[in-house]
A and B are shown apart, each in its own frame.
Chain A
Amino acid sequence: MTAPQLITNATTNITGMYTIFQYVVEVAPMFFILVLFALLIILFVIFRGSSYTNAKPFAGSCFFVMVMSILFRVMNFIDNKWMYVFITIMAGSMVWLHLENSQS
């Protein structure tokens, strides 16, 4: 019996959960970056709830996503440059938080 054919010419040998994610990265390199951006939006909406402030929930969601991006980089799911993008977004969210607090 022959091994099941993968839908692409991917070379990853799937043996568990981690190698499944490696296979995903091989066939779709931007997948986890999109996951992080989606997570940022979802967490922002959840944290925001019914309040009318935007900076604080954005800073909270950015922090969570920054930690996730560093962990994803450790697991080789995303590039260095995307990790730095999320760190810089986190720093930018701090700027927004301070500006919103200073206006009130």
Chain B
Amino acid sequence: MLARDWIIVLVLFGLVSGLGYLVVEDIASSSRGYDVPNMTDEDYTERYDTLTNSTTDIYKMQNATTSEQGINIVSTFTTMFNATFTIIGLVFGSFGMTAATIGNLAQDLGMSASLTNLIAGSLLLIIITLIVFIVISSVSKGRL
């Protein structure tokens, strides 16, 4: 098992837990579902939502990779790889635009914002994780 797989399964765990909670919330709703009271639990998010913690960690990894310290991992080859890391920085910068586009598209199709944020956000986190680990693996000796 690679390190990137472990980060991805954390995101997947949070995604499936969140989707399950959305199903329960929809069924418990008085306007959309079967109007079953006391079916949702406010503490559930605090206890089982791993997506929030994973998101913080993954964005921290992304910032560390694109920051000055991240670029310095190439040490003496900084000049040679400067252009490469500029491109990598541009790629990382495009994630915000992608998330907004996916969100707008889904909302135009009539999906709810909570569902869109959950699915699009998780996909984006998985892509960021893969790219961060590809970058780190390319400048380190092992495949992480």
Interface residue? B24 (CB, 8 A) = yes
- Is A84 in contact with B44, judged by CB distance below 8 angstroms? yes
- Is B23 in contact with A70, judged by CB distance below 8 angstroms? yes
- Is B12 in contact with A87, judged by CB distance below 8 angstroms? no
A87 to B27, CA, bound (A): 14
Hey, what's the 0/1 contact readout for A72-89 against B, CB within 8 Å counting as 1?
011000001001100110
Interface residue? B13 (CB, 8 A) = yes
Given contacts A70-B27, A95-B9, A95-B12, contact A90 B20 (CB under 8 A): yes
Interface residue? B109 (CB, 8 A) = no
Hey, what's the 0/1 contact readout for A86-104 against B, CB within 8 Å counting as 1?
0110111011001100110
- Is A92 in contact with B44, judged by CB distance below 8 angstroms? no
How many A-B contacts if CB must be within 8 Å?
A: 54
Q: In chain A, what residue has the closest Cβ to B48?
A: A88
- Shortest beta-carbon distance, A40 to chain B, in Å? 15
> For chain A, what secondary structure do more than half of its interface residues adopt (helix, strand, loop), or is it mixed?
helix
Contacting A at CB under 8 A, from B5-33, are 5, 8-9, 12-17, 20-21, 23-24, 27
Question: How many of B's residues come within 8 Å of A, CB to CB?
Answer: 23
A98 to B122, CA, bound (A): 14
A90 to B15, CA, bound (A): 11
A99 to B44, CA, bound (A): 25
Shortest beta-carbon contacts, A-B, top 10:
A87-B20, A91-B16, A95-B9, A91-B17, A102-B5, A91-B13, A94-B16, A94-B12, A98-B9, A74-B36
Cross-chain pairs A/B with CB under 8 angstroms, 19 sampled: A70-B24, A70-B27, A74-B27, A80-B39, A84-B41, A84-B48, A87-B20, A87-B24, A88-B17, A91-B12, A91-B16, A91-B20, A92-B13, A94-B12, A94-B13, A95-B12, A99-B1, A99-B9, A103-B1
